[in-house]
C-alpha cells in the first residue's frame, strides 16, 4: 500500500524502500493516451518537427524552426540520404560562416558552430542508417568539437582501450581544483549522443564536479552492440575514471537517459560498490521488453518523432526484423536477468506517467524492488523522461532536478564501512 502525504508543492510516497521526492499535479495514475499505430508520413514529420523546434521539444531542442523549414525544402521523399543532405545543406553554411568569423568575432563563430552541430545531428537522426546520414553524423561530431574549443575549462577527448578497440569519451574537470574531484559518468539514450550530454553537463562543473560522457552500447561511437554483457564497456569506463589522478575514485556517479538509463540502472546493481549514486530517466526494466509492448506501443509510436523500432533494431547485432527484435528483447529484462532486488547504489528515478515509450509500470517495479531507498521524480502529466511541453521541458528537469540530486549525492560525507 502506498501512502500519499501532501505538502505545499510536493507529495511523498512511501513504499518498501522508496521515497518519492516530487509528484507533480494530480495524484491519479492514468493510462497513456491512445495513439495511432502507424509511422508519420513525411508531410506529418515536417509539420511536427517544425512545431517541436518552435516549442523547444526533443529532438529539436536548440534548432531554429526557420533552419528546419529551409532544410525541408530540399527533402521531397523518405530517402535517408536526401534527408541528411537537406540538413547538411543548411548546416554547411553555418560551419563556413563560423570558420570565416573565428578571428574577428569568436562569439558569433561559436554560435554558428552550435547551430551547425544541431542541424548535422538532426540530419543523422535517429540513427546514421545510410551513407548520407553517416556523413551527417561525422560532421555533427566535427562541429561539436569545433564548438568545444571554446569551452573553459577545456574538454578532453579520451580514448579508452577496450577489447581491441576503444571507447571514445568527453572528459571535463572543474578549474583550479586542489584535490581530486567527484565525477559523473553520463550515458546517452537511443538517439541522443554523448555530444548532447557533454553540452548539458557543463552545468555541473561550477559545483566542483566533473563529467565523462560516453555513448552507450550500440549507439554513436560505442565499440560494442547492446547485449546481456555490454555493461562491461561501462565497467571499463569506471576503471578509467578511477585511474585518473584528478578524479576522486570514491565519489563516482552515473546518469543515463532512456536506453542510457537502462544501462545506468544495471550499473547501479553490478557496480554498486563503486558508485555513490545513479540518476536514471525513464529506465526500461521489464515490461518494455515484452512482445506485447513492442507491438502495441513502440511500433508507430507518435511520441517518438519517427523510426523508433528501426533505431532499436540497430543497437543490436544482426537484428533486421521486428520478429527478431521481439525474440531477443525479453532477455534484456532486468527481471529475467535476476538483477532487480539485488544490492544497488542509491538512485534517483525520473519518469512520466503518460510515457508511451517506457511503461510507468517499469518505474514502479524498479522503485519497489530491493532494500536500498530510492528517490523518484514522477510527473503525472509527463511523457517520456518526465518531460511536459512548456511546463517541464528537458532543460528545466535537468537543471532543477537532476543536477541538484547528483551534487547532493557526490558531496555527502563518506561514511566509513565497518
Q: Domains, the chain, ranges and CATH?
A: 3-42+154-411 (3.40.50.1820), 62-150 (1.20.58)
CA distance 382 to 179: 40
Q: Which pLDDT score is estimated for 35?
A: 45
The sheet carrying 374-379 orders its strands as 3-6, 11-14, 18-23, 374-379, 347-352, 277-281, 247-257, 181-187, 210-214, 165-172, 156-162
Average the pLDDT over 344-358 and give the result: 97
Residue 28, pLDDT score: 38
Indicate the average pLDDT of the chain.
Answer: 91
**DSSP 3-state assignment of 159?**
strand
Of 120 and 370, which is predicted with more confidence? Answer: 120
Average pLDDT over residues 267-293: 98
Give the residue-averaged pLDDT of 189-217.
98
Give mean pLDDT, residues 205-231. Answer: 98
Confidence (pLDDT) at 288:
98
Banded model confidence at residue 416, pLDDT cuts 50, 70, 90: low
> 418 or 114, which is more confident?
114
Q: Is the pLDDT of residue 29 over 80?
A: no
Lowest mean pLDDT among 12-26, 101-115, 251-265, 286-300: 12-26
Task: Supply 115's cell numbers.
Answer: 547551430
Cell of 350: 525520473
Q: Which of 213, 214, 212, 225 has its CA nearest to residue 163? A: 225
Predicted confidence at residue 372, as pLDDT, reads 83
Lowest-confidence pick of 2-11, 168-177, 353-362: 2-11
pLDDT at 67 exceeding the cut of 70: yes
Grid cell 501532501 in the structure block, residue: 6
pLDDT of residue 15: 34
| Mean pLDDT, rounded, for 37-41 | 87
Identify the band that residue 397 occupies on the pLDDT scale cut at 50, 70 and 90: very high
212 sits in which H/E element: strand 210-214
Query: Is pLDDT above 70 for 3?
Result: no
Say if residues 21 and 375 touch (Cβ distance below 8 Å): yes
User: How does strand 374-379 pair with strand 347-352?
Assistant: parallel
For the beta carbon of residue 346, count every other beta carbon within 10 angstroms. 19
Q: What letter would DSSP give residue 201?
A: G
Output the pLDDT for position 296: 94
Across the range 102-124, mean pLDDT stands at 98
Q: What is the pLDDT of residue 413?
A: 83
pLDDT at 25: 39
Which of 22-26, 135-139, 202-206, 391-395 comes out lowest in average pLDDT? 22-26
Is the pLDDT at 132 greater than 90, yes or no? yes
Answer whether residue 393 shows pLDDT above 60. Answer: yes
Model confidence at 16: pLDDT above 70: no
pLDDT at residue 371, rounded to an integer: 82
- Alpha carbons within 13 A on the beta-carbon side of 164: 1
Show Cβ contacts of residue 247 under 8 Å, excluding neighbours closer than 6 positions.
173, 180, 181, 182, 183, 210, 241
Average pLDDT over residues 396-412: 97
Q: What is the pLDDT of residue 308?
A: 96
Name the nearest CA neighbour of 382 among 371, 369, 368, 396.
Answer: 396
Q: What is the mean pLDDT of the segment spanning 232-260?
A: 98
Residue 11, pLDDT > 80, answer no
The cell for 59 is 529532438
Amino acid at each position: 500500500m502506498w501512502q500519499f502525504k501532501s505538502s505545499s508543492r510536493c507529495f511523498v510516497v512511501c513504499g518498501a524502500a522508496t521515497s518519492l521526492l516530487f509528484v507533480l499535479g494530480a495524484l491519479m495514475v492514468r493510462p497513456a493516451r491512445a495513439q495511432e499505430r502507424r509511422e508519420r508520413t513525411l508531410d506529418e514529420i515536417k509539420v511536427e518537427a517544425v512545431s517541436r523546434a518552435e516549442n523547444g521539444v526533443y529532438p529539436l531542442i536548440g534548432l531554429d524552426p526557420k533552419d528546419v523549414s529551409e532544410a525541408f525544402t530540399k527533402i521531397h521523399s523518405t530517402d535517408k540520404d536526401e534527408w541528411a543532405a537537406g540538413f547538411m545543406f543548411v548546416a554547411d553554411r553555418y560551419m563556413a560562416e563560423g570558420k570565416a568569423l573565428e578571428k574577428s568575432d569568436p562569439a558569433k563563430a561559436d554560435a554558428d558552430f552550435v547551430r551547425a552541430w544541431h542541424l548535422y545531428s538532426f540530419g543523422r537522426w535517429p540513427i546514421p542508417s545510410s551513407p548520407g546520414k553517416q556523413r551527417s553524423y561525422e560532421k555533427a561530431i566535427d562541429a561539436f568539437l569545433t564548438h568545444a574549443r571554446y569551452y573553459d575549462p577545456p574538454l578532453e577527448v579520451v580514448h579508452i582501450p577496450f577489447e581491441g578497440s576503444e571507447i571514445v569519451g568527453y572528459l571535463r574537470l572543474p578549474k583550479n581544483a586542489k584535490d581530486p574531484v567527484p565525477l559523473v559518468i553520463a550515458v546517452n539514450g537511443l538517439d541522443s549522443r554523448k555530444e548532447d550530454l557533454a553540452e548539458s553537463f557543463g552545468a555541473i562543473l561550477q559545483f566542483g564536479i566533473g563529467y565523462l560522457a560516453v555513448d552507450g552500447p550500440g549507439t554513436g561511437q560505442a565499440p560494442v552492440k547492446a547485449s546481456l554483457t555490454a555493461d562491461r564497456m561501462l565497467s571499463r569506463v569506471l576503471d578509467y575514471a578511477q585511474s585518473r589522478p584528478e578524479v576522486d575514485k570514491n565519489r563516482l556517479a552515473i546518469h543515463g537517459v532512456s536506453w542510457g538509463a537502462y544501462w545506468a540502472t544495471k550499473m547501479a546493481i553490478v557496480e554498486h560498490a563503486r558508485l555513490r549514486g545513479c540518476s536514471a530517466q525513464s529506465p526500461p526494466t521489464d515490461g518494455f521488453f515484452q512482445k506485447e509492448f513492442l507491438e502495441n506501443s513502440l511500433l508507430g509510436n507518435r511520441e517518438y518523432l519517427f523510426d523508433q523500432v528501426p533505431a532499436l533494431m540497430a543497437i543490436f547485432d544482426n537484428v533486421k526484423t521486428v520478429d527478431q527484435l521481439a525474440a531477443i528483447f525479453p532477455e534484456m529484462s532486468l527481471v529475467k536477468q535476476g538483477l532487480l532486488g539485488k544490492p544497488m547504489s542509491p538512485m534517483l528515478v525520473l519518469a512520466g506517467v503518460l510515457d508511451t515509450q517506457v511503461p510507468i509500470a517499469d518505474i514502479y517495479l524498479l522503485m519497489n524492488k530491493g532494500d536500498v531507498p530510492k528517490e523518484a521524480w514522477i510527473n503525472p502529466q509527463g511523457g517520456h523522461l518526465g518531460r511536459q511541453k512548456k511546463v517541464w521541458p528537458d532543460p528545466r528537469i535537468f537543471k532543477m532536478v537532476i543536477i541538484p540530486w547528483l551534487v547532493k549525492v557526490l558531496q555527502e560525507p563518506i561514511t566509513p564501512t565497518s
